[in-house]
C-alpha cells in the first residue's frame, strides 16, 4: 500500500479510536443515571439511620437522582455489610454503617465476609457525641470521685450497654480497665433500654449518646465527654483524655462505604459530594441533631482510621477476653 493510500486508513483508525474514547467518557460521565440504594446497617429510628437519611437527601439533591434508604438491621450490622460487599461495584449500592461492624464484630466472631477488605471506606460523616454519665444517687460529682468510689466498692456498681459486644460495651470495658475499677456489665437490647435502666437506678453508669440531653436537664450527672473533643451541648464537661485517661480510644463514627472494587472516579464523585454537603450550614445542623459531631474524613485518611480502630479494639477484646453474645 502506498503512502498516499495509507494516510486515509490511519486517519480513519484515529477517528474511530477518538469516537470510542468520547463515547466511553460520556457513558462514565453520566454517573449516576438511575436511583441509588443506600443500605443502612441498623433499624429505623437510630442515630445511624438518621444520619443516613440526611445524607441520602443531600446526595440526591447534588447528584440529581433518587437515593433510596433501605434499613437492613441484624447481626450487629453485618447483614447490611455483607449485602453491599457482594453488590456490583458500580456506585448504585452503597452502605451507611458504624464502628462496630469494622472494629468490634470481626474481632468477636467469624463472618462470611471481610469488612476491611470487601468494603471500601468512602467518607466519615459523623462521630458519636457520647458522654459518661452516672446516677444522681451516687455520692460523686467528678470522674475522680467516681473512680475512687468504685474502688471502694468493687463489683457493686453496674454499667449498661446496648448489648454484649457492642461499641458501648467495649468502650466501657476499655475505660474500666484504664481506670482500674471493678464494675459489672449489664447488657440491654439497645441504647433506649440501657438509658431507662440508668434513669430507674438499675445501673449506675452509662457511656452513650442518649445520656446527653438528660445531663443537660440535670437528671443525670455528667462526668466526662467520651470523644476527642468536648461536646458542644456540654462545653464544661472535660474529655476522658483531659482527665488523665488518654489511653482510652473512644472512636465511634457513622460513615459511607462502597463495594471494594468501586472505580476510583466514582469514589471521587462520592467523596467530593459528601464533602460538599458539609459546606451547607443546614446539613451540619441536622447531623448534630442526630447526636453526631459532623466530622468529614476523605477516603484515604478514613481508611487508615478504620484500620487503627480494628487493631485497637481487637487488642482490647483479646486482652480483656470479651466475648460476643451467645
269 to 28, 123, 297: CA distances (angstroms): 11, 11, 14
Torsion of CA 63, 119, 70, 47, to 10 degrees: -90
Residues of the chain with pLDDT below 70 are 1-29, 325-326
128 and 46 in contact (C-beta within 8 Å)?
Answer: no
Query: Which residue, 38, 61, 60, is CA-closest to 50?
Result: 38
Distance CA 208, CA 218 (A): 16
Give the strand pairing for 253-259 and 130-134.
unpaired
User: Was domain 35-128+252-319 assigned CATH 3.30.499.10?
Assistant: no
End-to-end CA distance of the chain: 79
Q: What is the pLDDT, as a whole number, of residue 191?
A: 83
Residues of the chain with CATH 3.40.190.10: 130-226
**What pLDDT is stored for residue 24 in this prediction?**
41
Q: Give the count of beta carbons closer than 10 Å to the beta carbon of residue 293.
A: 18
Rg of the chain's alpha carbons, rounded to an integer? 24
List, in sequence order, every beta strand (DSSP E) within 84-188.
93-98, 119-128, 130-134, 158-161, 184-187
Q: Give the residues across from 221 on adjacent strands.
A: 134
Query: Where in the chain is CATH 3.40.190.150?
Result: 35-128+252-319
Position 14 scores a pLDDT of 47
Quote the CA–CA distance of 162 and 189 in Å, as a whole number. 6
Supply the pTM of this predicted model. Answer: 0.83
CB 48 within 8 A of CB 96: yes
Distances (CA, A) of 160 to 109, 140, 181, 224, 316: 22, 18, 15, 16, 18
| 264-277 helix and 47-63 helix, angle to the nearest 10 degrees | 110
DSSP 42: S
Alpha-carbon span 140 to 160, nearest angstrom: 18
Question: Does residue 82 contact residue 51 with C-beta atoms inside 8 Å?
Answer: no
H or E, element range at 171: helix 167-179
* pLDDT the model gives residue 233: 87
pLDDT for residue 76: 81
Cα three-residue angle 72-276-89, rounded to 5 degrees: 45
Other CB atoms within 10 Å distance of the CB of residue 196: 15
263 prior amide bond cis, ω within 30: no
Residue 3 confidence (pLDDT) = 47
Burial of 37 (0-12, 13-18, 19+ CB in 10 A): middle
* Cα(154)–Cα(285) distance, integer angstroms: 42
CATH class given for the domain over 130-226:
alpha beta
Angle between helices 299-319 and 167-179 (to 10 degrees): 60
Output the pLDDT for position 115: 97
Amino acid at each position: 500500500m502506498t503512502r498516499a493510500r495509507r494516510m486515509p486508513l490511519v486517519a480513519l483508525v484515529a477517528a474511530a479510536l477518538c469516537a470510542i474514547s468520547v463515547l466511553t467518557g460520556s457513558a462514565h460521565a453520566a454517573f449516576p443515571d438511575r436511583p441509588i440504594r443506600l443500605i443502612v446497617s441498623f433499624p429505623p429510628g437510630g442515630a445511624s439511620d438518621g444520619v443516613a437519611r440526611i445524607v441520602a437527601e443531600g446526595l440526591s439533591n447534588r447528584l440529581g437522582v433518587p437515593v433510596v434508604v433501605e434499613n437492613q438491621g441484624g447481626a450487629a450490622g453485618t447483614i447490611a455489610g455483607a449485602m453491599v460487599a457482594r453488590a456490583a461495584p458500580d456506585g448504585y449500592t452503597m452502605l451507611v454503617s458504624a464502628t462496630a461492624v469494622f472494629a468490634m464484630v470481626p474481632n468477636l466472631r467469624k463472618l462470611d465476609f471481610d469488612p476491611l477488605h470487601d468494603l471500601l471506606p468512602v467518607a466519615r460523616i459523623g462521630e458519636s457525641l457520647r458522654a459518661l454519665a452516672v446516677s444522681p444517687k451516687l455520692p460523686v460529682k467528678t470522674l475522680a470521685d467516681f473512680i475512687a468510689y468504685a474502688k471502694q466498692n468493687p463489683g457493686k456498681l453496674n454499667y449498661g450497654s446496648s448489648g454484649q459486644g457492642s461499641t458501648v460495651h467495649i468502650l466501657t470495658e476499655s475505660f474500666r480497665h484504664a481506670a482500674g475499677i471493678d464494675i459489672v456489665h449489664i447488657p440491654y437490647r439497645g441504647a433506649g433500654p440501657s438509658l431507662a435502666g440508668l434513669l430507674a437506678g438499675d445501673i449506675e453508669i452509662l457511656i452513650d449518646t442518649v445520656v446527653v440531653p438528660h445531663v443537660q436537664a440535670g437528671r443525670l450527672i455528667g462526668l466526662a465527654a467520651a470523644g476527642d473533643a468536648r461536646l458542644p451541648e456540654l462545653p464544661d464537661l472535660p474529655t476522658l483524655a483531659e482527665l488523665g485517661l488518654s489511653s482510652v480510644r473512644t472512636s465511634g463514627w457513622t460513615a459511607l462505604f462502597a463495594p471494594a472494587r468501586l472505580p476510583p472516579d466514582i469514589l471521587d464523585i462520592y467523596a467530593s459530594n459528601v464533602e460538599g454537603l458539609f459546606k451547607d450550614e443546614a446539613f451540619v445542623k441536622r447531623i448534630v441533631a442526630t447526636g453526631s459531631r459532623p466530622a468529614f474524613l476523605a477516603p484515604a485518611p478514613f481508611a487508615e482510621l478504620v484500620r487503627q480502630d480494628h487493631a485497637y479494639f481487637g487488642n482490647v477484646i483479646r486482652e480483656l477476653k470479651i466475648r460476643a453474645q451467645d
